[in-house]
Chains A and B, each alone.
Chain A
Amino acid sequence: MDETPGTLVLEGVQKSWGDRPAVDDFSLTVTAGHSVALIGPSGCGKSTVLRLIAGLLTPDRGSIRFGGLDCVPGNYARLRDRLGYVIQDGGLFPHLTAFDNVTLKARDRDGAGAQLTERVRTLAELTHVPPELLSRYPAQLSGGQRQRVGLMRALMHDPELLLMDEPLGALDPIVRSRLQVELRQTFSRLRKTVVFVTHDLAEAAFLCDEIVLMREGAVVQRGRMSDLRTRPADAFVEEFVRAQQGHGLEAGA
Chain B
Amino acid sequence: MSGLGVKRLVSALVFAALSANAVVADIDAKAAPQSRRAAAEAGVTIGSKAFPESWILGEALAVLARRSGNAAVEHRSNLGGTEIVFAALESGSIDVYPEYTGTIAEVIVKGAARPSLADLRTALAPRGIGISEPLGFNDGYALAASPAAAGRLGLRTISDLARHPTLRLGLTHEFIGRRDGFEGLARHYGLGRSGVRGIQHELAYRALEEGAIDVTDIYTTDAEIARLGLVVLEDDRGFFPRYDAVLLYRKALEREAPGTLAAWNTLAGKIDEARMIRANARVVIQKQPFETAASALLDDAGFAVANAPVARPDRAREILRSTLEHLRLVAISLAAAIAIGVPLGVLATGSPFLAGLTLTAAGLLQTIPSLALLALLIPLFGVGMVPALVALFLYSLLPIVRNTYVGLTSIPPALEESARVLALKPATLLMRVRLPMASPSIMAGIKISAVINVGTATLAALIGGGGLGDPILSGIQLRRHDLILQGAIPAALLALGVQYGFDLIDRWVIPRGLRLPRDRGA
Is A108's CB within 8 Å of the partner chain B?
A: yes
Decide if A139 touches B517 in the complex (CB within 8 Å): yes
Q: Which residue of B lies closest to A153 (CB)?
A: B422
Is B420's CB within 8 Å of the partner chain A?
A: yes
Contacts of B308 in A (CB 8 A): none
Known contacts A54-B421, A104-B432, A108-B428; is A95 also within 8 Å of B414 by CB?
Answer: no
Contacts of B489 in A (CB 8 A): none
Complex Cα spacing A51 to B414, Å: 11
Decide if A96 touches B421 in the complex (CB within 8 Å): no
Contacts of A105 in B (CB 8 A): 422-424
Decide if B423 touches A97 in the complex (CB within 8 Å): no
Complex Cα spacing A56 to B517, Å: 30
Is B30's CB within 8 Å of the partner chain A?
A: no
Known contacts A91-B415, A95-B437, A137-B516; is A142 also within 8 Å of B428 by CB?
Answer: no
Complex Cα spacing A77 to B329, Å: 46
Decide if B519 touches A140 in the complex (CB within 8 Å): yes
Q: How far is the CB of A167 from chain B (nearest CB, A)?
A: 12
Complex Cα spacing A83 to B518, Å: 29
Decide if A93 touches B415 in the complex (CB within 8 Å): yes
Decide if B414 touches A91 in the complex (CB within 8 Å): yes
Interface size range of chain B in the complex: 20 to 34
Decide if B437 touches A85 in the complex (CB within 8 Å): no
Known contacts A104-B432, A175-B522; is A76 also within 8 Å of B423 by CB?
Answer: yes
Q: How far is the CB of B25 from chain A (nearest CB, A)?
A: 41
Is B521's CB within 8 Å of the partner chain A?
A: yes
Interface string of B389-426 (1 = CB under 8 A from A): 00000000000000000000000001101111111110
Contacts of B439 in A (CB 8 A): 95
Contacts of B512 in A (CB 8 A): 95, 137
Within 8 A of A (CB), among B505-520: 511-514, 516-520
Contacts of B419 in A (CB 8 A): 93
Known contacts A95-B437, A108-B428; is A56 also within 8 Å of B513 by CB?
Answer: no
Decide if A104 touches B519 in the complex (CB within 8 Å): no
Decide if B516 touches A87 in the complex (CB within 8 Å): no
CB within 8 Å of B: which residues of A? 51, 54-56, 76-77, 80-81, 83, 85, 87-88, 91-97, 104-105, 108, 137-144, 153, 175
Q: List 25 A-B contacts (CB under 8 A).
A: A51-B417, A76-B423, A80-B423, A83-B421, A85-B417, A85-B421, A87-B417, A87-B418, A91-B415, A91-B418, A93-B418, A93-B419, A95-B436, A95-B512, A96-B513, A104-B432, A105-B424, A137-B512, A137-B513, A139-B516, A140-B516, A140-B519, A142-B519, A142-B520, A142-B522
Those 5 A-B pairs whose CB atoms lie nearest each other, nearest first: A95-B511, A137-B513, A91-B418, A80-B423, A139-B516
| Known pairs A97-B513, A143-B520 / 18 extra A-B pairs, C-beta < 8 Å | A51-B417, A54-B421, A56-B417, A77-B423, A80-B421, A85-B417, A85-B421, A87-B417, A93-B433, A94-B437, A95-B436, A95-B511, A104-B422, A139-B513, A139-B516, A139-B518, A139-B519, A175-B522
CB within 8 Å of A: which residues of B? 2, 414-415, 417-425, 428, 432-433, 436-437, 439, 511-514, 516-522
